[in-house]
Amino acid sequence: DHERRLIDEMFGVVRVAGESEARYGELEQRMLSLQRENLDLVVKNRMLSEVSSRDALTGLYNRWFVIDKIDSEMNRALRHGSPMSLLMLDIDHFKRVNDTWGHGAGDQVLQAIGKLLRDSCRVYDVPGRYGGEEFCIVLPETKPGSTEVVAERIRSRLEATELPCGDARITVTASIGIAGMDTTEMNELLSPAALIDRADQALYSAKNHGRNRVELWDHALYQGTGEAPGH
């Protein structure tokens, strides 16, 4: 009887071990299945995030993504004492393009400009379409003064490039405004909206001085106010 009970117990252990192994295999398969589903979900979420951050016409980042990027880059610049710059670009007399060739052709021009901006940026710059025919580029780790060289290169390249416009090819020019955060400036009270406003006002200064030019924001432009006036 004692030996029989011992043998029964041994067979019971073997049986439980077999069931446990089968259970373990089942759990392992379920775990692998969940991992595949989670990976698929992560990929889809990333794709959705990427699509939602892009401008449908030009493929550049959209206004809301750029504003969020300006905020994060300003915070990073404050933490590390590093510079950053913002470039605002507006196509001169773009209404004439739409009025002459139609909005479809105008969209072609905007798409070509978007590609030109992408090709003109470093991998960590953030080019975006701010709205209509206005574009912007966030430049991390770049002093405002150094950004003038980048802006002038984009301005001259755009002026020299023939862009598809319906059945024709045309050239357009752009006015560009620059603002930024430098390590020598007190920036703690500067908000993303204020930085955008500075770049925008420098842009309008470029337009007021004849268009197809680059202007850098500085306090001397708006003496007595400390900030640019509204549009």
Active site members: 133
How far apart CA 12 and CA 14 sit, in angstroms, is: 5
Expressed in percent and rounded to 5, the helix, strand and coil fractions of the chain are 60, 15, 25
| 178 contact partners, CB below 8 Å, separation of at least 6 | 85, 86, 87, 88, 144, 147, 148, 151, 199, 202, 214, 215, 216, 217
How far apart CA 121 and CA 127 sit, in angstroms, is: 7
Could you tell me the two tokens for 198? 């500075």
The sign of the dihedral angle between the CA atoms of 100, 105, 110, 114 is negative
